[in-house]
Amino acid sequence: MDWTELVKVFAALFAIMNPIGNMPIFLSVTDGRLPAERSRIALVAAVAVAIILTVCVLFGKEILAAFGISVAGLRTAGGLIILSIAYSLLHAQPSGMHHDTSAGAETQENPAIYPLALPLLAGPGAIATVIVFAHGAHGGAAYAGLVGVVAVMSALLFLGMRLAVPASKLLGTAGMNIVTRLMGIILAAIAVEMMFAGARDLLRS
Protein backbone atom coordinates (compact mmCIF):
# COMPACT_ATOMS: atom_id res chain seq x y z
CA MET A 1 0.00 0.00 0.00
CA ASP A 2 1.56 3.28 -1.15
CA TRP A 3 1.13 6.82 0.10
CA THR A 4 -1.64 7.47 -2.42
CA GLU A 5 -3.79 4.76 -0.88
CA LEU A 6 -3.09 5.98 2.64
CA VAL A 7 -4.07 9.51 1.64
CA LYS A 8 -7.29 8.11 0.17
CA VAL A 9 -8.03 6.25 3.42
CA PHE A 10 -7.36 9.40 5.43
CA ALA A 11 -9.58 11.51 3.15
CA ALA A 12 -12.40 8.97 3.38
CA LEU A 13 -12.22 8.71 7.18
CA PHE A 14 -11.91 12.47 7.58
CA ALA A 15 -15.00 13.04 5.46
CA ILE A 16 -16.99 10.28 7.18
CA MET A 17 -16.01 11.09 10.75
CA ASN A 18 -15.95 14.85 10.07
CA PRO A 19 -14.22 16.27 13.18
CA ILE A 20 -15.52 19.75 12.38
CA GLY A 21 -19.06 18.83 11.40
CA ASN A 22 -19.49 16.67 14.52
CA MET A 23 -18.66 19.55 16.86
CA PRO A 24 -22.33 20.57 17.31
CA ILE A 25 -23.24 16.94 18.10
CA PHE A 26 -20.50 16.76 20.72
CA LEU A 27 -21.71 20.01 22.27
CA SER A 28 -25.25 18.64 22.31
CA VAL A 29 -24.49 15.36 24.09
CA THR A 30 -22.20 17.10 26.59
CA ASP A 31 -24.50 20.03 27.25
CA GLY A 32 -24.23 21.24 30.84
CA ARG A 33 -20.89 19.49 31.49
CA LEU A 34 -17.92 21.22 33.03
CA PRO A 35 -14.86 21.79 30.77
CA ALA A 36 -12.92 19.07 32.61
CA GLU A 37 -15.77 16.59 32.07
CA ARG A 38 -15.94 17.46 28.37
CA SER A 39 -12.20 16.89 28.06
CA ARG A 40 -12.47 13.46 29.70
CA ILE A 41 -15.41 12.46 27.50
CA ALA A 42 -13.54 13.59 24.38
CA LEU A 43 -10.46 11.56 25.35
CA VAL A 44 -12.41 8.38 26.11
CA ALA A 45 -14.40 8.69 22.87
CA ALA A 46 -11.24 9.20 20.77
CA VAL A 47 -9.48 6.22 22.39
CA ALA A 48 -12.56 4.04 21.87
CA VAL A 49 -12.68 5.00 18.19
CA ALA A 50 -9.00 4.14 17.79
CA ILE A 51 -9.50 0.72 19.40
CA ILE A 52 -12.64 -0.11 17.37
CA LEU A 53 -11.13 0.80 14.01
CA THR A 54 -7.76 -0.80 14.79
CA VAL A 55 -9.55 -4.08 15.56
CA CYS A 56 -11.37 -3.77 12.22
CA VAL A 57 -8.06 -3.17 10.41
CA LEU A 58 -6.32 -6.16 12.01
CA PHE A 59 -9.20 -8.64 12.12
CA GLY A 60 -11.56 -7.38 9.42
CA LYS A 61 -10.90 -10.34 7.12
CA GLU A 62 -11.65 -12.83 9.90
CA ILE A 63 -14.84 -10.97 10.80
CA LEU A 64 -16.02 -11.11 7.20
CA ALA A 65 -15.12 -14.79 6.91
CA ALA A 66 -17.06 -15.61 10.08
CA PHE A 67 -20.21 -14.14 8.55
CA GLY A 68 -19.53 -15.45 5.04
CA ILE A 69 -19.34 -11.96 3.54
CA SER A 70 -17.13 -11.28 0.55
CA VAL A 71 -14.95 -8.18 0.37
CA ALA A 72 -16.60 -7.26 -2.92
CA GLY A 73 -20.00 -7.37 -1.23
CA LEU A 74 -18.76 -5.26 1.67
CA ARG A 75 -17.14 -2.79 -0.72
CA THR A 76 -20.41 -2.38 -2.62
CA ALA A 77 -22.54 -2.13 0.53
CA GLY A 78 -20.01 0.17 2.18
CA GLY A 79 -20.07 2.42 -0.87
CA LEU A 80 -23.86 2.67 -0.64
CA ILE A 81 -23.65 3.47 3.08
CA ILE A 82 -21.01 6.12 2.50
CA LEU A 83 -22.98 7.60 -0.42
CA SER A 84 -26.02 8.00 1.83
CA ILE A 85 -23.84 9.79 4.38
CA ALA A 86 -22.41 12.00 1.62
CA TYR A 87 -25.94 12.87 0.47
CA SER A 88 -26.80 14.08 3.97
CA LEU A 89 -23.56 16.07 4.20
CA LEU A 90 -24.22 17.74 0.83
CA HIS A 91 -27.46 19.03 2.33
CA ALA A 92 -25.59 20.11 5.49
CA GLN A 93 -27.54 17.62 7.57
CA PRO A 94 -26.27 14.92 9.95
CA SER A 95 -26.82 11.39 8.65
CA GLY A 96 -29.45 9.57 10.67
CA MET A 97 -27.49 6.37 10.03
CA HIS A 98 -24.79 7.25 12.53
CA HIS A 99 -25.90 10.45 14.19
CA ASP A 100 -28.61 9.03 16.40
CA THR A 101 -28.58 10.97 19.64
CA SER A 102 -32.25 10.47 20.40
CA ALA A 103 -31.88 7.36 22.55
CA GLY A 104 -31.54 9.18 25.83
CA ALA A 105 -28.02 10.43 25.21
CA GLU A 106 -28.63 13.42 27.45
CA THR A 107 -29.54 11.18 30.37
CA GLN A 108 -26.45 9.03 30.20
CA GLU A 109 -23.75 9.56 32.79
CA ASN A 110 -20.98 9.08 30.23
CA PRO A 111 -21.84 9.43 26.52
CA ALA A 112 -18.23 8.81 25.40
CA ILE A 113 -18.83 5.22 24.20
CA TYR A 114 -22.48 5.58 23.20
CA PRO A 115 -23.46 7.56 21.26
CA LEU A 116 -20.14 9.32 20.55
CA ALA A 117 -17.73 6.48 19.72
CA LEU A 118 -20.50 4.18 18.50
CA PRO A 119 -22.37 4.86 16.28
CA LEU A 120 -21.52 8.54 15.83
CA LEU A 121 -17.79 8.52 15.04
CA ALA A 122 -16.87 4.87 14.36
CA GLY A 123 -20.07 4.22 12.45
CA PRO A 124 -20.81 1.74 9.64
CA GLY A 125 -19.18 3.93 7.01
CA ALA A 126 -15.87 4.20 8.87
CA ILE A 127 -15.85 0.50 9.76
CA ALA A 128 -16.58 -0.57 6.18
CA THR A 129 -13.90 1.78 4.87
CA VAL A 130 -11.07 0.47 7.05
CA ILE A 131 -12.01 -3.19 6.43
CA VAL A 132 -12.10 -2.68 2.66
CA PHE A 133 -8.74 -0.90 2.56
CA ALA A 134 -7.22 -3.41 5.01
CA HIS A 135 -8.12 -6.19 2.58
CA GLY A 136 -5.82 -4.57 0.03
CA ALA A 137 -2.98 -4.21 2.52
CA HIS A 138 -0.05 -6.61 2.24
CA GLY A 139 2.73 -6.83 4.79
CA GLY A 140 3.33 -5.34 8.19
CA ALA A 141 4.22 -1.91 6.83
CA ALA A 142 0.85 -1.57 5.09
CA TYR A 143 -1.07 -2.52 8.22
CA ALA A 144 1.10 -0.18 10.28
CA GLY A 145 0.25 2.62 7.84
CA LEU A 146 -3.48 1.97 8.21
CA VAL A 147 -3.23 1.86 12.00
CA GLY A 148 -1.26 5.10 11.82
CA VAL A 149 -4.03 6.74 9.80
CA VAL A 150 -6.57 5.56 12.40
CA ALA A 151 -4.39 7.00 15.19
CA VAL A 152 -4.08 10.36 13.40
CA MET A 153 -7.83 10.50 12.81
CA SER A 154 -8.53 9.69 16.46
CA ALA A 155 -6.17 12.50 17.51
CA LEU A 156 -7.96 14.91 15.16
CA LEU A 157 -11.32 13.84 16.56
CA PHE A 158 -10.08 14.51 20.08
CA LEU A 159 -8.73 17.90 19.01
CA GLY A 160 -12.02 18.73 17.29
CA MET A 161 -14.04 17.87 20.38
CA ARG A 162 -11.68 19.83 22.64
CA LEU A 163 -11.99 22.89 20.39
CA ALA A 164 -15.73 22.47 19.80
CA VAL A 165 -16.79 25.45 21.91
CA PRO A 166 -14.44 28.12 20.48
CA ALA A 167 -14.61 26.73 16.92
CA SER A 168 -18.41 26.74 16.81
CA LYS A 169 -18.37 30.39 17.87
CA LEU A 170 -15.68 31.25 15.30
CA LEU A 171 -17.12 29.43 12.27
CA GLY A 172 -20.79 29.94 13.00
CA THR A 173 -23.57 28.06 11.26
CA ALA A 174 -22.54 29.19 7.76
CA GLY A 175 -18.94 28.08 8.22
CA MET A 176 -20.00 24.68 9.55
CA ASN A 177 -22.31 24.20 6.57
CA ILE A 178 -19.56 25.02 4.06
CA VAL A 179 -17.16 22.50 5.64
CA THR A 180 -19.90 19.85 5.83
CA ARG A 181 -20.81 20.21 2.14
CA LEU A 182 -17.15 20.07 1.11
CA MET A 183 -16.76 16.80 3.03
CA GLY A 184 -19.89 15.53 1.29
CA ILE A 185 -18.41 16.09 -2.17
CA ILE A 186 -15.19 14.26 -1.28
CA LEU A 187 -17.12 11.43 0.32
CA ALA A 188 -19.47 11.01 -2.64
CA ALA A 189 -16.53 10.57 -5.03
CA ILE A 190 -14.94 7.93 -2.78
CA ALA A 191 -18.28 6.14 -2.39
CA VAL A 192 -18.81 5.90 -6.16
CA GLU A 193 -15.33 4.42 -6.61
CA MET A 194 -16.00 1.84 -3.89
CA MET A 195 -19.36 0.83 -5.35
CA PHE A 196 -18.08 0.40 -8.89
CA ALA A 197 -15.02 -1.54 -7.73
CA GLY A 198 -17.20 -3.83 -5.61
CA ALA A 199 -19.78 -4.33 -8.36
CA ARG A 200 -17.03 -5.15 -10.87
CA ASP A 201 -15.57 -7.78 -8.54
CA LEU A 202 -19.00 -9.27 -7.88
CA LEU A 203 -19.69 -9.61 -11.60
CA ARG A 204 -16.34 -11.32 -12.17
CA SER A 205 -16.89 -13.85 -9.40
Q: Letter for the amino acid at 34?
A: L
Does residue 1 surpass a pLDDT of 70?
Answer: no
| Domain that includes residue 11, residue range | 3-204
Is residue 16 a contact partner of residue 187, using CB atoms and an 8 Å limit? yes
Q: Which of 41-55, 80-94, 140-154 has the lowest mean pLDDT?
A: 80-94
Least confident of 45-49, 141-145, 189-193: 189-193
pLDDT of residue 195: 87
CA–CA dist 105, 110 (Å, integer)? 9
Question: How many distinct structural domains can be found in the chain?
Answer: 1
What is this structure's pTM? Answer: 0.75
Residue 154 has pLDDT above 90, yes or no: yes
Measured in degrees and rounded to the nearest 5, phi and psi for residue 29 equal: -80, -10
Split at pLDDT 50, 70, 90, the class of 55 is: very high
Q: In sequence order, which residues have a C-beta less than 8 Å from that of residue 185 and are 6 or more positions away?
A: 86, 90
Rounded average pLDDT over 23-31: 80
